[in-house]
Amino acid sequence: MHITFHGAVREVTGSMHLLGTDTDNILLDCGMFQGRRKEAAEKNRVMPFDPGMITNMILSHAHIDHSGRIPLLTSKGFAGRIFTTRATADACRYLLPDSAHIQEQDAQYLNYKSVRKALSHGAAINGQTMERREHDKLKKLLKKNKHRIDTEIVDKVIARYNIDRVKPLYDSADAEAALTQMDGTPYRQTRTIGRDLSVTFYEAGHILGSAISIIKHNANGQTRTVAYTGDLGRFGKPILRDPASNFEDGDRDIDLLIMESTYGDREHEPVVDLKPRLKAVLNKTFDRGGSVVIPSFAFGRTQELLYVIHELYDEGAVPRLPVWVDSPLATNITTVFGEHPEVYDQDTHETFLRSGKNPFDFKQVHFTGSVEDSMTLMKETSPNIVISASGMCEAGRILHHLRYKIHNPKNTILIVGFMAQHTLGRRLLEQGEAYEKEGRQGNPPLLKILNKEYPLKAQVVKIGGFSAHADKNEMLRFLKSSNLNIKRIAVVHGEEDQSLAFADLLKAQGYDATVPKCGQTMVVK
């Protein structure tokens, strides 16, 4: 048995590892690269293997950096099954079509820009001329009601004048087809995934449905076992059970552990400080008459925020101002959370379920649906809380909330999760913190949002306790508190400095750890 590392190796997105035996090829995750548009698009379109050679796939959890290229995989010839937990399969019902919609919208916008650019050069495109009247008419017809792109007109111009067309990575039909290949499996139930190959899922504590995968190969009288953490969660967080520590006897001896390292050289704020920190931010902002804008992942982070805000409101710890969830995807995913109380921890049952309360729904919370409702909310000036996608501020409705709120020092932009390099979220955080250290003196930093610069006058605050990833100490706690016997560890899913630092920490603790490079193969002995 061997493992080839194809993605999220010395970086944090695009998780993809290929496990091979003499008879089967099992893909561990099929994630999307995220970051600079051009670089990410080039990476995402290239599969480093023939999808038709993959026997089956294991999906650790539904986050797009682990699941986002599945529709591309299935559309290119993968005909096997995708084994995952039941909650992850249910979440993918919304996440993958949403990802396809984003791919389609991005392609439409880039094609519109290409046509606009071609028309701006005059009445000749690629050597073909048109009458000035037709040229001017086309420019006016590219958008409906000055806002919506008329894709039919754009497509006609592209076809007629041989303009290079941008195609989406995959479309909605591809996403829907991919969902038919998913097999939802309960935790701790073993499934056959190939000849002499099986997988058993254990709780990872990262997001709803996230799993540690124990993959066993029994052949020629020998057993080899690979464990894949996917993304590990924190201990003591609301809603979900902690990462598993008690593994079945037959799953305990691990020849190779593939382990994440997102925060391999960092420590989070204690989980116990999470609620009081949020309480302080909300009260300070409301006292100065401002609103709190929270860029948040639709899956996991939004529901955790609602849970803690619900607790604060029930306790009367903060003013009960309106809470808006402005993300159709987050609304749907919150429904999925409600469908899987079997994975909740004991505290959630005691705090809410036993008294008949929904942890994620209360009097002050509102879920916006239409674009029109969202636009009205953006212009709202009275204090409130807005939770909106996307978490790294690279796309979605959050961009519009930021451009309406970023210039007002009464408001707070609350960062509650990891912001990858080269994202607007990272720039917001770094420049906001730098401006704060300077005593907010002088001209505020300028940030470009939707091709226009805005002064960053709003307060920028980070609460690390909301992170869904374990920090270095919690990852060590998982290793030391579990009953696993681990021979070797391959450190993945972390920016290079984090992965290398975590590997050094593991070595100092007596573990045989290495940080593979992209494309490297390790033999499981």
What's the whole-number average pLDDT of the chain?
A: 92
The correct answer on CATH 3.60.15.10 for the domain covering 2-97+171-266+468-523 is yes
271-466 folds as Rossmann fold (3.40.50)
Cβ–Cβ < 8 Å for 33, 44: yes
What is d(CA 180, CA 505) in angstroms, rounded to the nearest whole number?
42
CB 210 within 8 A of CB 230: yes
pLDDT at 132 over 80: no
Ordered strands of the 25-28 beta sheet: 182-185, 82-85, 56-58, 25-28, 16-20, 2-7, 521-523
Per the structure block, which two tokens stand in for 138?
């086309």
Output phi, psi for 352, to 5 deg. Answer: -125, -55
Alpha-carbon gap, residue 64 to 96, rounded angstroms: 8
Could you tell me which residues come within 8 angstroms of residue 173 by beta carbon, excluding any fewer than 6 positions away? none
* Residue 369 CB-half CA count within 13 A: 1
What percent of the chain has a predicted confidence (pLDDT) above 90?
77
What three-state secondary structure class fits 466?
helix
Same fold, 2-97+171-266+468-523 and 271-466: no
Enter the pTM of the model: 0.88
Show me where the domains of the chain are located: 2-97+171-266+468-523, 101-160, 271-466
Q: Kindly report the backbone phi and psi dihedral angles of residue 336, in degrees, each rounded to the nearest multiple of 5, phi listed first.
A: -60, -40
Per-residue pLDDT reduced to its tens digit, 157-192 = 888 888 888 899 999 999 999 999 999 999 999 999
pLDDT tens figures, 354-410 = 989 999 999 999 999 888 999 999 999 999 999 998 888 887 899 999 999 999 999
Categorize the per-residue pLDDT at 36 as very low, low, confident or very high, splitting at 50, 70 and 90.
confident
Q: Indicate the burial class of 515 (C-beta count within 10 angstroms; 0-12, 13-18, 19 or more).
A: buried
Q: Report the pLDDT value the prediction gives residue 340, as an integer from 0 to 100.
A: 94
Judge residue 470's burial from the number of C-beta atoms within 10 Å of its C-beta, 0-12 exposed, 13-18 middle, 19 or more buried: buried
Task: Name the one residue in this structure whose structure tokens are 């470009």.
Answer: 448
Percent of the chain with pLDDT over 70: 96
Q: How far apart are CA 64 and CA 59, in angstroms?
A: 11
**CA-based nearest residue to 409, from 457, 455, 460:** 457
pLDDT band at 198 (very low <50, low <70, confident <90, very high): very high
Between 194 and 150, the higher pLDDT residue? 194
Contact between residue 467 and residue 268 where contact means Cβ atoms under 8 Å apart: yes
Residue 121: what residue type?
A: H
Residue 245, burial from CB neighbour count under 10 angstroms (0-12, 13-18, 19+): middle
**Interhelix angle 328-338/86-120, nearest 10 degrees:** 170
At residue 133, the pLDDT reads: 65
- The whole-angstrom separation of Cα 436 and Cα 182 is 47
Looking at residues 242-267, what average pLDDT do you find? 97
Interatomic CA distance for residues 275 and 292, integer angstroms: 15
